[in-house]
Amino acid sequence: MLAFDEIGHLVAKVLTDGVVDGQEQDLLRQFFSEFIALGDDRTLTDPSLQIAGSLVGLCAVAPEIHFEEKGFCFTGASSRGSRADIHALVTARGGRVHSAPSKKVDYLVIGAEGNPCWSYACYGRKVERAVELRKEGLRIMIVHERDFHDALVD
């Protein structure tokens, strides 16, 4: 079910300028090749498509992240510090940290190192829950750790 959300986000990103260029065609081909039977023994080995370090189709593109009175939840391993250190960065800027996605969470931050279970064709429970909450109408933005850290310095 999560794959459909990824497809929607990816297609929307590709169609932003109204043109599907060669690079975007390759991007779509690479993404869909994970789901199309190619007559071999391939399995889904990387459910997220990473291009230049970005999780395409899952994370918001160039998100605007605010900290004051906003709720944050983190998933996956961070490449830039311990979870406690990152939580301290949020609270120092007036944000709140939550252990799981809920109506109090504005941002789910995905660590750049990911999560070992993602290599088995499933995302962690936090990502799945955030997507469910979005379908229910809550505005939880899923962001990549790199964008989170960029917002810290802005």
Residues 6+ positions from 152 with CB-CB distance below 8 Å: 89, 93
| Predicted TM-score of the model (pTM) | 0.62
Burial level of 101, CB count in 10 A (0-12/13-18/19+)? Answer: buried
Total structural domains within the chain? 1
What pLDDT, in 10s, does the model give residues 71-113?
Answer: 999 998 888 889 999 999 999 999 999 999 999 999 999 887 7
Residue 111 structural domain: 1-154
CATH number of the domain at 5, please: 3.40.50.10190
Contacts 24+ apart (CB under 8 A), 9-14: 9/57, 9/58, 10/49, 10/56, 10/57, 13/56, 13/57, 13/61
Q: Do the Cβ atoms of 150 and 60 come closer than 8 Å?
A: no
What pLDDT, in 10s, does the model give residues 116-144?
Answer: 555 444 567 888 898 888 888 888 999 98
